[in-house]
Amino acid sequence: MKGPPTSRYSEWLKGKTKSITELETYIQSLGEWFCSEYKANTNEDGCNIRKAVAAMANKHGGELFIGISDDKKTKGVQMSSQEISQILSQEKAPHGVWYITDLNETVHGIIDIPITENLFVYVLDVRNQDLPVFVQENNTMKLFIRDGDRSMPVDSFQALDWSRNLTREKILTTCYFEFKTITKRISSTYHGYVLGLGIKFPYLEKRMEDGTLYRYLTPEDIITLLGERKGSSGYIGGLYNHTFELIHRIQMIYRTDYEESETGIYTGIKDVISRYEDEIEDKIRQFQSYLKTQKIHIED
């Protein structure tokens, strides 16, 4: 199956009684492919569940059946839905703006089907969030993609650690994915900026703050990304300049229209973001082209 699920258990269940018999009837029509997966149990830290959820979320979404074996036999698990949510939360994983580590954000709902008083089957409805979803495994952040009936790691995303194993290539590629993700989502979340949430590039800002941006990147890299001042008044903008200008314009709208109605602020921000959208695709292509000229491969 290619593409998003054509049906979900929560929808199929409407008008029916929630029971193991009904669930078994439903899953007999499903295969373990892009959009459905079965886990008879969880391993010690629940990483097998996290990988499956993240891989689906990074593709088209789907359904994870916990307590059902690969041959679609009912086994059940001695867990509560709260314990599953705790496994998915990944509390020790570094949180950010342009990626997801709390996997509960990708789970639209958890349906519990009791077998006995202490034995349950769970159906997790996983949805794509348009953001990369990471799994913490042995203190390393990894990205998994659904590939057929498997959850496959994507090597280019494995290192999200901001303190170790830095290279010029790793910094530039991570900046690219952060830039692409955040700029592409701005138009769909402009209401957030009306509420003053702002626009941030946490990875770029961290690399600037700890100085590694200037230690690892070449002068050409920095000029390409951030621009360069020419003389006392001239300035050549970098790839990020267009977005920084958007931030400045939004701040000016707040200052100018704060005493006016919320509608004025809302309309003003929507207008500047609309103009921003017309040019940002070109900026993303410029970023891609620069990485290619530097012989840096990206897996879009």
The verdict on residue 266 lying in a domain is yes
Tell whether 93 and 152 lie within a shared domain. yes
Tell whether 261 and 187 lie within a shared domain. yes
The verdict on residue 88 lying in a domain is yes
Of 54, 293, 31, 295, the residue nearest 148 (C-alpha): 31
Question: How much is the pLDDT for 163?
Answer: 38
Q: At which of 157, 190, 224 does a domain end?
A: 157
Cα angle for residues 31, 33, 35 (degrees, 5° grid): 95
Tell whether 180 and 137 lie within a shared domain. no
Cα angle for residues 76, 81, 87 (degrees, 5° grid): 100
**Per-residue model confidence as pLDDT tens digits over 233-266:** 667 788 998 888 877 777 777 766 555 555 677 7
Total count of domains within the chain: 2
Residue 125 confidence (pLDDT) above 90: yes
**Per-residue model confidence as pLDDT tens digits over 38-95:** 998 877 678 899 999 998 888 778 899 999 998 889 999 999 999 999 999 999 888 7
Structural domain including 26 reads 9-157
Tell whether 113 and 86 lie within a shared domain. yes
β-sheet bridge partners, residue 125: 63, 109
The verdict on residue 125 lying in a domain is yes
41-50, 54-63, 140-149, 205-214: the lowest-pLDDT one? 140-149
Put simply, whether the predicted model's pTM sits higher than 0.85 gets the answer no
Q: Which helix (H) or strand (E) holds 265?
A: helix 262-293
Q: What are phi and psi of 150, to 5 degrees?
A: -125, 160
Q: At which of 157, 186, 217 does a domain end?
A: 157
Residue 97, class by beta-carbon neighbours within 10 Å (0-12 exposed, 13-18 middle, 19+ buried)? middle
Of 213, 167, 203, the residue nearest 182 (C-alpha): 203
The verdict on residue 298 lying in a domain is no
Tell whether 31 and 76 lie within a shared domain. yes
Tell whether 95 and 48 lie within a shared domain. yes
Mean pLDDT of the chain: 80
The verdict on residue 163 lying in a domain is no
Tell whether 109 and 72 lie within a shared domain. yes
Most confident of 30-44, 58-72, 125-139: 58-72
Tell me the angle at which helices 81-89 and 47-57 cross, rounded to the nearest 10 degrees: 70
The verdict on residue 262 lying in a domain is yes
Q: What percent of the chain has pLDDT over 70?
A: 79
